[in-house]
Amino acid sequence: MLDRLELSLLLDYYGSFLTDTQLDALRLTCDEDLSLSEIAEQRGISRQGVRDAIARGERTLVEMEARLHLIEKDRRIKKLVHAIRQELEPALGERSVDPACIKLFSLLSELSDITEGNDGI
């Protein structure tokens, strides 16, 4: 079983590829920290049914990341954004700042908003 943080991240990226039962069981396990028995009782299905839904759902999520690498790519982009920001910040503190540097920093901030989910989409 995946740790809760990794599972939550996979759900954010690929949860829409799961069945409603798988998504529900994984969210209740991950976000609500409910046990298999609690989920089974709440949903009116067997404990084994919950375990199977979670196992299939996790397998699907892991397979999606293995094929698409969206989380891996997102992490790489964030590292690059951070590195570029570190390179630009000293230049922004100078008296006479190159307008191109200001524009690059602005574009970098826009990219950061997208990768952090602050772009309203």
The domain that holds 39 is classified in CATH as 1.10.10.10
More confident residue, 98 or 44: 44
Same domain? 16 vs 44: yes
Residue 80 domain boundaries: 72-116
Assess if residue 121 is contained within a domain: no
Same domain? 76 vs 111: yes
Percentages of the chain per state (helix, strand, coil), in multiples of 5: 80, 0, 20
The pLDDT tens digits for 2-52 are: 788 899 999 999 999 999 999 999 999 999 999 999 999 999 999 999 999
Q: In the chain, what is the greatest distance between 2 CA atoms, to the nearest angstrom?
A: 69
Number of domains the chain is built from: 2
3-state secondary structure of 38: helix
pLDDT at residue 67 greater than cutoff 60: yes
Same domain? 21 vs 56: yes
d(CA 12, CA 31): 12
Predicted TM-score (pTM) of the model is 0.78
More confident residue, 114 or 40: 40
Same domain? 63 vs 17: yes
